[in-house]
Each structure stands twice: as structure tokens, then as C-alpha cells.
Amino acid sequence: MKKIMASFVVLISVFLLASCGASPSAPAVAPTTQPVSPVPFKVVSIAMGVNPASIAGMACGHTITVTYTATFHVAANSSGGTVQFIYTVNNGRSTTPASLNFGPRETIKTYSFIWQGTLSSDNVYPGLGGVLTSSPNEVHSPSVKPTGTCVSSAAFQVTNIDLLVSPSSIVGMSCNSSMTFTYTVTFHLAPNSRGGTIQFMYTTNNGRSSTNSSVTASAGTTTVTYKFTSSGVLYPDHTFPGIAEVITTSPNQVNSPQVKPAGQCS
């Protein structure tokens, strides 16, 4: 009986020791991500750009379109909202209201506006362009305008005329065959002029007959082209094609060189 009790005590002791040595496993804890609290919606800064960046060398009196672009930067991690602002293209002498909507967490948006007009010799236009926000907070953008100044306009006049004919030769062509010749006129104009209309006449038969025509040149243009044709039969007496010439009558008189296709038919 003493041996049985001793064995029982030993088994209990072993069981208790084994139980004490085992450590219970800790429950798994899922990592948590702290939500980012929205920050107040506000405009942080405004950048301005302008295109063209320069009007240097352009003729005064020339009509152009100037595009101003405002880039709005708002606070990161905001819930979004509407930016109310005004913009100007003449240094604040007049303004136009506008707005931009930002979605949650959007940080950058652009807005473009234009000025279109004539480059004046006093260089008042194009003027300074900029933006001023009124909501959600007040921010002034830099003021920008194209650099440089326009060039004072010169008198509108034709300086010289080039005249070419195609084909330039009838060598190898058969007499009594039909042919069409194309004449290309290039009018060269004084630079930096305000533009205007060129009145002229042209002949393809050495002046026995002529045709009146005109072309229009825009401000600052230095060359204008015009084409005309002449069709006929290559007679053995070589009267066709004849001598072609162009003569301007307005804004001033200029004669082109006289041209005709080289060679003879056979």
C-alpha cells in the first residue's frame, strides 16, 4: 500500500511539473492603421505661366492671343472644396470671377485664361496677368506678362518680286502639242509692316493682254505667293509660251523679272 501511494505521488508531481513548464501561446493581435485626419482646405500657393513667353521682334499692330495659366496648390490630405478667385490680364484694371473644384486629397489644378488683341506701340498690351483667391483663403499669385516689346511698324510696301515658271523648259516637247504652264509669284514685303493688300496685274504674252488680281498680307508678313497658269499649243513659230511679267500698282509699283520657258519645241 505504501508503494502504491508513493507511485501516485510521483505521477502527480511529474504532471504538475510538466504543466508548469508549458507557457500558453499569446493571442495574435492585428496591426492597426491610424486614419489620417483631414486637414483644413486652403490654397497654399499659386504659380503663373504665360504663352508666348516673349513678344520681342513681333510687329506692333500684329494681332495675337496670349494664354495665362494659373496652377493652384492646396493643402495635402484635405477633404476638398471650391476655390473662388478673380483673374486679370491688365494689372487689375478689370477682373473676371471664376472657380475651381477640388476633390478629396487633390492638391494641384490649373486654370487658363486668355487675352486677344493688337500689339500696341506703347506696349500697354499684353498686360500683367494674375490671380487673387477669395475663398477658402486669400492668396495672391505673381503677376506675369510676355517679355520684350513689339517692333514699330514699317510702311507697307513691296520691295521686290520673284517670278518662276514650271516647266522651266520645253526642250524635247513636240510642237503642236497642248501644254499648261504654271507661274509662281513671290512678293517680298518690308519687315514689320502692318500688312495690307497688294494690287497687281500679270501677263503671259509680253503685255499684249493682262489680268488684274490682288493678294492680302497680314501684319508682320514678309513674303506672299500667288500662282497663275497659261495654257495653249506649242506652235512651230514659238509664239507660245510667251514672256510673263508681274507689275504691282499698290501699295507701290514694282516690276518682276520677265520669264518664259527655255528652249524650243521640236
pLDDT digits (tens, 9 = 90+) for 234-243: 988 888 999 9
Q: Is the pLDDT of residue 244 over 70?
A: yes
Q: Is the pLDDT of residue 252 over 70?
A: yes
Average pLDDT over residues 136-150: 96
Q: Is the pLDDT of residue 149 over 80?
A: yes
Dihedral sign (CA 151, 152, 153, 154) = negative
According to the model, what pLDDT value does residue 192 have?
80
Of 58 and 183, the structure prediction assigns the larger pLDDT to 183
Indicate the pLDDT class of residue 30, thresholds 50, 70 and 90.
low
User: What does the pLDDT look like over 78-124, one tens digit per residue?
Assistant: 999 999 999 999 999 999 999 999 999 999 999 999 999 998 878 88
According to the model, what pLDDT value does residue 107 have?
97
Residues forming beta bridges with residue 185, ordered by sequence position: 163, 226
d(C-alpha 71, C-alpha 76), whole Å = 15
What separation in angstroms does the CA of 152 have from each of 60, 127, 188?
5, 18, 19
Average pLDDT over residues 138-160: 92
Indicate the pLDDT class of residue 191, thresholds 50, 70 and 90.
confident
Average pLDDT over residues 241-250: 96
Indicate the pLDDT class of residue 183, thresholds 50, 70 and 90.
very high
User: What does the pLDDT look like over 34-53, one tens digit per residue?
Assistant: 666 689 999 999 999 999 99
Residues with Cβ within 8 Å of 22's Cβ and at least 6 positions away in sequence, in order, are: none
The burial of 11, by beta-carbon neighbours within 10 Å (0-12 exposed, 13-18 middle, 19 or more buried), is given as exposed
d(C-alpha 97, C-alpha 85), whole Å = 6
The C-alpha cell of 215 is what?
493678294
The C-alpha cell of 35 is what?
486614419
Average pLDDT over residues 8-19: 45
According to the model, what pLDDT value does residue 34 have?
60
Q: Is the pLDDT of residue 167 over 90?
A: yes
d(C-alpha 238, C-alpha 264), whole Å = 7
Could you please state the CATH topology (level 3) that the domain comprising 43-135 is classified under: Immunoglobulin-like (2.60.40)
Using DSSP, state whether 214 is helix, strand or coil: strand
According to the model, what pLDDT value does residue 93 have?
92
d(C-alpha 105, C-alpha 111), whole Å = 18
- What is the average pLDDT score of the chain? 88
DSSP 193: B
According to the model, what pLDDT value does residue 219 have?
81
The b-or-e profile of 99-115 (16+ CB within 10 A means b, else e) is ebebeeeeeeeebebeb
Q: Report the 3 state secondary structure along 128-180.
A: CEEEEEEECCCCECCCECCECCCECCECCCEEEEEEEEECCECCCCCCCCEEE
Where exactly are the structural domains of the chain?
Answer: 43-135, 158-250
According to the model, what pLDDT value does residue 16 have?
45
State if pTM tops 0.75.
no
Phi/psi of residue 168, nearest 5 degrees: -85, -5
Q: Is the pLDDT of residue 70 over 70?
A: yes
Range 158-250 has CATH code 1.20.144: no
